[in-house]
Structure 1
Amino acid sequence: MHRTVTELADGRELIYYDSEPGRDRGAEDPRPLDRVESTPELRRDPATGDWVTIAAHRQSRTYHPPADACPLCPSRDGRQSEIPAADYEVAVFENRFPSLAGGAGRCEVVCFTPEHDAGFADLTPERARLVLDAWTDRTAELSARPGVRQVYCFENRGAEIGVTLAHPHGQIYAFSTTTPRTAKHLAAASAHRARTGRNLFEDILAEARAATERVVLAGEHWTAFVPYAARWPYEVHLHPHRRVPDLTRLSEAERAEFPGLYLDLLRRFDRLFGLAAPTPYIAAWHQAPRTGGEELALHLELFTVRRTADKLKYTAGTEAGMDAFMNDVTPEAAARRLREVL
């Protein structure tokens, strides 16, 4: 991997990730942009202890632009975008409309490909590996910044999820706090250790691998399985067999195997419902916080809000109101369906 660091017209950082050195990344951003002025505010809910970010400036962010005005495509034919280069492999830049900024953290956009109508599942294994390397590099750099508590890499795909830019991309959030879901993981892992003397996530993986009816894919270094108490109709967790806290600690063998398994998994998701449109999903990397996360295990959670070809799973009364999920598909049936769609 080769990285080139540059700046956009308003001073935001832009990083090109290339598979080989020697690419010309000297194109400048000629847009007359003002410096980003964002003042997100962190407020703690006294009833739950959860941190909530108030980011009112995001009301004016780019919303469903036409394809010929996509800000994530390369700059071509006189049209300037967030990527000054006429082509790129993987590009990462500071979000122009960040939810987190300054002491509250940082938000970055990860462009997986210059192809507007592609998706992560369309990438080659080599390009998927380059994205993994970019995630890893950003995790290492952001984790080392003062005030950063946790780094979260994720992808939202599909209008049904709420995506406002159709170009294939993900995001990276550097939080100054521990996220509520990670806090639950920490509490559960601590209780499990006190009760059994073992690590919770190692036991979850071992149990899933033993209960083969919930395994979707398995390699030498990774296993993808539907969790025992899945919240979403089709939800898969992808774990390395060796427990590590974050992406920076993966071995070369684990990195080499990941792209093929992950691309296979995404392509199975796209075949689930027999639709011409790709399946909407969220792909979320769970990484341990900077300190105090020794019991946590790196893993990726992939799930879709679609439960049938013409029905969505909404987070309505019980889910949104009480955080009590009701699943319409048994985990065993979901795993069986994902194995069948090869």
Structure 2
Amino acid sequence: MAERVRQTVTRLADGRELIFFDDTEPYVSATATRESHDRRVLPPVAAMSELRRDPLTGEWVTFAAHRMDRTFLPAVADCPLCPSTPETATEIPAGDYDVVVFENRFPALGAHGDDSASADTDRDPLWSRRPADGRCEVVAFTSAHDARFADLGPSRARTVVDALAARTAALSEVPGVRQVFCFENRGAEIGVTLQHPHGQIYAYPFLPPRTATLVERAREHRARTGRSLQRDVLDAERREGTRVVWSGRAWTAYVPAAARWPIEVHLAPHRDVPDLAALGDAERDELAMLQCDMLARVDRYFEGVDRVPYIAAWHQAPVGDDREHGRLFCQIFSLRRAPDKLKYLAGSESAMGAWISDTTPERIAARLREVGP
């Protein structure tokens, strides 16, 4: 069987890894090969990040002061994710591309974590500190600067899924990595620094707080019932049906019963799988179609709003310990609560973590069904 996506690994001028994921000719069949050369002169990446554990919560906080100088909303002509031209050399040393993954030049986590990064701080044993080892990658979904994920179509979206799956598998093998987190931020309201359609991958050396909570709840549920918590939630949502937006052969999209955000929908596989790398071909095909569909519905949610800001976050099982308590799902959510209003995380949410919703999950699901194709 012919290969659907061909990977080509190369290096940027400062030594960072870049991988082309080609799904078009002449590259996918290797009729032609990628011969890329980064003609820029770049200093080595200096990621002096460190982790400090909050003694009051036990949570790790990452400090990455070098990110203060990262690229911020450049003009289209200066976009670092557009293909290179004879006049402009970008992060992608090619005149065109399908999907590309490369190491972030301004990583929050990196193998260059330096324990002396905050040598001026006190050394009280209450403040546990360690280098912020890990890896941060950028995923450019398309060479088209003004496109959106929903515009990619199922074939190119499937290539993105394949790229995320391949990187999940590779990063899960890196010593010390505890979780691989794939996500897309879209919109200035979310805080994006580049408008070009792209996502990111973080390989954390610790379990993030949200994952730690999910694992603990799943562990308690299994000890009490002998079953998977996320499987039971999915089955209950499908039985109830009120909050189901779409259901197919391999996936269901539903609004969770305790949705926090003004728009929120979860994409869950029917089969118990730990991460994207574990998905089969049919599951990946349906997921690519479903993700384009749901993101298009999000953009149609409000009358008169062309592009709704959102985060698409892939929750994957931990690497190593507690892997059996994780289950893959995608959480798509937006902080826009009206055409001209945002949901701000004020006192109750930010200080106490006690969420107050301005709508109901049933209304969200009804609207997402209404704006479907």
TM-score range, shorter chain: over 0.9
Instruction: Give runs of aligned pairs for residues 3-14 of structure 1, distance below 5 A.
Output: 3-14=7-18
| One-letter amino acid of the structure 2 residue matched with residue 245 of structure 1 | P
SS at match of 2:325: coil
| One-letter amino acid of the structure 1 residue matched with residue 231 of structure 2 | E
TM-score, normalising length from structure 2? 0.90
Q: Provide the residue aligned with 1:243 in structure 2.
A: 272
| One-letter amino acid of the structure 1 residue matched with residue 186 of structure 2 | R
Pair 1:108 & 2:137 matched: yes
Q: Provide the residue aligned with 2:37 in structure 1.
A: 28
| One-letter amino acid of the structure 1 residue matched with residue 159 of structure 2 | L
Q: Provide the residue aligned with 2:194 in structure 1.
A: 165
CA drift of 1:227 comes to: 0.3
Q: Provide the residue aligned with 1:75 in structure 2.
A: 84
Instruction: Give runs of aligned pairs for residues 187-336 of structure 1, distance below 5 A.
Output: 187-291=216-320, 292-336=322-366
Work out the CA distance in 1 between the residues paired with 2:55 and 2:110.
23
CA drift of 1:42 comes to: 0.8
Q: Please give the root-mean-square deviation of Cα atoms over the aligned residues, in Å.
A: 1.0
Work out the CA distance in 2 between the residues paired with 1:104 and 1:275.
44
Work out the CA distance in 2 between the residues paired with 1:156 and 1:78.
29
Work out the CA distance in 2 between the residues paired with 1:281 and 1:16.
26
CA drift of 1:300 comes to: 0.3
SS at match of 1:16: strand
Pair 1:130 & 2:159 matched: yes
Work out the CA distance in 1 between the residues paired with 2:56 and 2:227.
32
SS at match of 2:323: coil
SS at match of 1:294: helix
Deviation per CA, 1:238-270, whole angstroms, max 9, x where unpaired?
A: 000011111111122211211111111111001
Deviation per CA, 1:279-320, whole angstroms, max 9, x where unpaired?
A: 110000000111122021100000001011111011121111
Q: Which runs of 5+ in 1 are unaligned?
A: none
Work out the CA distance in 1 between the residues paired with 2:241 and 2:305.
31
CA drift of 1:323 comes to: 1.2
Contact 1:43 1:52 in 2 (8 A): yes
| One-letter amino acid of the structure 2 residue matched with residue 63 of structure 1 | F
Contact 1:95 1:107 in 2 (8 A): yes
Work out the CA distance in 2 between the residues paired with 1:68 and 1:24.
27
| One-letter amino acid of the structure 2 residue matched with residue 12 of structure 1 | R
| One-letter amino acid of the structure 1 residue matched with residue 15 of structure 2 | G
Residue among 63, 66, 82 paired with 2:75? 66
Residue among 2, 16, 19 paired with 2:6? 2
- Runs of 4+, deviation exceeding 4 Å: none
Instruction: Give runs of aligned pairs for residues 82-97 of structure 1, distance below 5 A.
Output: 82-97=91-106
TM-score, normalising length from structure 1? 0.98
Work out the CA distance in 2 between the residues paired with 1:173 and 1:242.
25
SS at match of 1:63: coil
CA drift of 1:121 comes to: 0.6
Contact 2:10 2:36 in 1 (8 A): no
**Structure 1 range deviating more: 62-71 or 16-25:** 16-25
Contact 1:234 1:329 in 2 (8 A): no
Contact 1:216 1:226 in 2 (8 A): yes
CA drift of 1:6 comes to: 0.3
